[in-house]
């Protein structure tokens, strides 16, 4: 009888160079998040034109912003755990179709109530796509480059969000605000067949389930065709527990409780800040005298800075983990505060917004990557999804705080000092996380458990 070979999937991937298959996967997931970012941020860019057409006050748009973000929260909380049960690919495909249909429908609404309902439903799809794209990219990446690859992939969101501002500036004067949603809705519907054809299921998810050994062998062979494992007589395993039962409760077991709570604080404060800025920057700039098109263009620098920050921070985060993240948020405190002091100088405020995007958007993308490296395969989508879901509570509160403070006639300087305080809270939480989480992303407790497991499995003399 032929001897069966056993291959540990994570270790196999870690030993391989990053190849064409992984880059193509990264680009496909980046395309999903590109459209996710475009559709998420489009409402903020069209807000001044929409408010003018419907004769709405600035504060009346706060609930519209928050309705979409509430849908994002529910989508992340539901579809993260569901993907850990049925797979990443199915949820990414469904989510892309859902937010494409919802965004297209947004172009045809005629009152605030209908707009809130449509944005809520669209948010469900937008919220489901993000954690699963992060998890899928992470699970095909070698450990030494995992945070970098996830962050590069997540640049798709920032590029899409920034393009939303550029496209809004071009389309609104010529065709009106509805054209932005027609473009943003049609593109995901065109991408869905490509996902069905080219997007693979997570190789670690398949191996952890102990099934589809042929599919696992095929996927590993695509990572490095020169070292493809045999399709017969090979057993594929993942040295991680399957963690039966409700996935969410495992976020608090095996020493993960305190890091999970601190991670939620980082996401909550970071996304509060991000959506405070992204939703209200065009409106605040317009109130300060900038034309609608100019306000959208300058506001898009937040996401442009985020793209630059993501590429600049990737290798640093892979090496220094949450210590680097804490420092990034400290710098964000000064960049966000500066926006409120420089609002009457187009050049200086553009630079401050770029710096804020570098730190806030880049920091949030780094936090997404670090969350994916922290949790095991069985609850990775759940861990990322729930961190994003809790963060979405902050993203809902952020626009509401902005609307309330603007209604109360707070000065521009006071508005952005409030936003800077959220960045300070994120910095403190990230610093505390660095005390509990090792450089590789795993918690001290998890590393100890892994060592103990290897010790118990070692042959005894």
User: Distance of alpha carbon 140 from its chain centroid, rounded?
Assistant: 17
b (16+ CB within 10 A) / e for 332-359: bbebbbbbbebbeeeeebbbbbbbbbbb
How many domains are contained in the chain? 1
In a domain, 363, yes or no: yes
The verdict on residue 293 lying in a domain is yes
Q: Is residue 455 part of a domain?
A: no
User: Residue 247 domain-assigned?
Assistant: yes
Query: Are 202 and 136 spatial neighbours (Cβ–Cβ below 8 Å)?
Result: yes
Residue 231 lies in a domain: yes
Structural domain harbouring 257: 7-448
- What is the spatial distance between Cα 435 and Cα 428, in angstroms, rounded to a whole number? 11
Quote the distance between the C-alpha of residue 150 and its chain's center: 9
Q: What pLDDT sits at residue 211?
A: 64
pLDDT at 289 (0 to 100): 66
Q: Are 152 and 104 in contact (CB under 8 A)?
A: no
- Distance between CA atoms of residues 27 and 21, nearest Å: 10
In whole angstroms, what separates CA 356 from the centre of its chain?
17
Give the pLDDT score at 454. Answer: 37
pLDDT mean by block of 10 residues, the chain; 461 residues: 71 89 94 91 84 81 80 90 90 95 93 91 92 92 88 87 81 90 94 94 83 81 82 74 74 88 96 86 73 72 86 87 93 91 79 93 91 87 92 84 83 86 95 77 44 36 33
pLDDT, residue 125, reads 92
In a domain, 458, yes or no: no
Instruction: Assess if residue 460 is contained within a domain.
Output: no
d(CA 198, CA 402): 42
Check the CA dihedral 432-433-439-442 and report its sign.
positive
User: pLDDT value at position 444?
Assistant: 46
Residue 68 inside a domain? The answer is: yes
Report how far apart, in Å, the C-alpha atoms of 172 and of each of 179, 287, 292 are.
7, 18, 9
Q: Whole-angstrom Cα distance, residue 358 to residue 350?
A: 12
CATH of the domain at 106: 1.20.1250.20
């Amino acid at each position: 009888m032929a001897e069966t070979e056993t291959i540990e999937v994570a270790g196999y991937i870690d030993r391989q160079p990053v190849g064409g298959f992984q880059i193509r996967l990264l680009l496909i997931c980046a395309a999903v998040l590109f459209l996710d970012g475009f559709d998420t941020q489009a409402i903020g860019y069209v807000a001044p034109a929409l408010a003018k057409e419907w004769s709405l006050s600035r504060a009346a748009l706060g609930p519209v912003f928050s309705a979409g973000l509430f849908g994002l929260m529910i989508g992340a909380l539901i579809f993260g755990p569901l993907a850990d049960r049925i797979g990443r690919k199915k949820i990414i495909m469904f989510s892309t179709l859902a937010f494409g249909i919802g965004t297209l429908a947004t172009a045809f609404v005629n009152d605030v109530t209908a707009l809130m309902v449509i944005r809520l439903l669209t948010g469900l799809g937008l919220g489901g796509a993000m954690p699963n794209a992060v998890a899928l990219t992470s699970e095909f990446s070698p450990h030494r480059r995992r945070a970098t690859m996830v962050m590069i992939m997540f640049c798709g969101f920032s590029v899409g969000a920034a393009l939303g501002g550029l496209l809004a500036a071009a389309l609104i004067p010529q065709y009106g605000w509805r054209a932005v949603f027609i473009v943003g809705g049609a593109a995901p519907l065109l991408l869905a067949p490509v996902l069905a054809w080219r997007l693979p299921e997570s190789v670690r998810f398949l191996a952890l389930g102990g099934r589809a050994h042929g599919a696992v062998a095929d996927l590993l062979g695509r990572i490095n065709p020169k070292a493809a494992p045999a399709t017969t007589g090979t057993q594929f395993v993942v040295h991680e527990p399957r963690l039966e039962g409700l996935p969410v409760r495992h976020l608090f077991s095996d020493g993960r409780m305190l890091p999970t709570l601190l991670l939620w604080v980082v996401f909550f404060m970071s996304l509060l800040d991000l959506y405070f800025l992204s939703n209200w920057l065009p409106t605040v700039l317009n109130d300060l005298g900038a034309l609608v098109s100019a306000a959208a263009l300058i506001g898009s620098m937040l996401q442009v800075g985020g793209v630059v920050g993501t590429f600049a921070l990737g290798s640093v985060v892979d090496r220094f983990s949450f210590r680097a993240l804490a420092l990034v948020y400290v710098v964000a405190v000064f960049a966000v505060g500066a926006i409120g002091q420089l609002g009457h100088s187009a050049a200086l405020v553009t630079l401050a917004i770029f710096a804020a995007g570098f730190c806030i958007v880049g920091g949030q993308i780094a936090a997404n990557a670090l969350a994916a490296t922290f949790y095991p395969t069985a609850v990775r989508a759940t861990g990322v999804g729930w961190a994003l879901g809790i963060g979405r509570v902050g993203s809902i509160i952020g626009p509401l705080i902005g609307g309330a403070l603007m209604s109360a006639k707070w000065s521009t300087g006071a508005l952005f000092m409030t936003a800077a305080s959220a960045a300070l809270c994120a910095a403190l939480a990230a610093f505390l996380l660095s005390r509990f989480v090792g450089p590789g992303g795993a918690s001290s407790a998890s590393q100890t458990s892994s060592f103990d497991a290897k010790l118990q499995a070692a042959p005894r003399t």
